[in-house]
Amino acid sequence: MSTKHKKVDLENLVSKFEKTYQEERNQETQVLYNEIVDVINRRRATIQNVLTALELVKATILTEKLKQIQSKLQMG
């Protein structure tokens, strides 16, 4: 097999991997979205409370991620 064919095969493999990975992420996102909507509907939460809760979740996740990054930087 020529180098050109190997490169094309590798590019095809990477492309298929990326497509599969994105499809799995999209499915996971859809499931999470549906579960969140289900909770919101069951709780009959107001729009303001929903948005506030989502902002708190976002802030918490970002804070934890920043702590992880800072920890890695201090170690390295």
What is the SS3 string spanning the chain? CCHHHHHHHHHHHHHHHHHHHHHHHHHHHHHHHHHHHHHHHHHCCCHHHHHHHHHHHHHHHHHHHHHHHHHHHHHC
Q: Are residue 52 and residue 15 in the same domain, yes or no?
A: no
Residue 6 shares a structural domain with residue 29: yes
Q: Are residues 54 and 71 located together in one domain of the fold?
A: yes
pLDDT class for 26, splitting at 50, 70, 90? very high
Mean per-residue pLDDT for 44-56? 96
* 36 and 5 in a common domain: yes
CA angle 46, 26, 13 (to 5 degrees): 165
pLDDT at 4: 67
- 71 versus 2: the higher-pLDDT residue is 71
Task: Name the band, by pLDDT with cuts 50, 70 and 90, for residue 10.
Answer: confident
Residue span of the structural domain in which 73 resides: 46-76
Whether pTM > 0.85 for this model: the answer is no
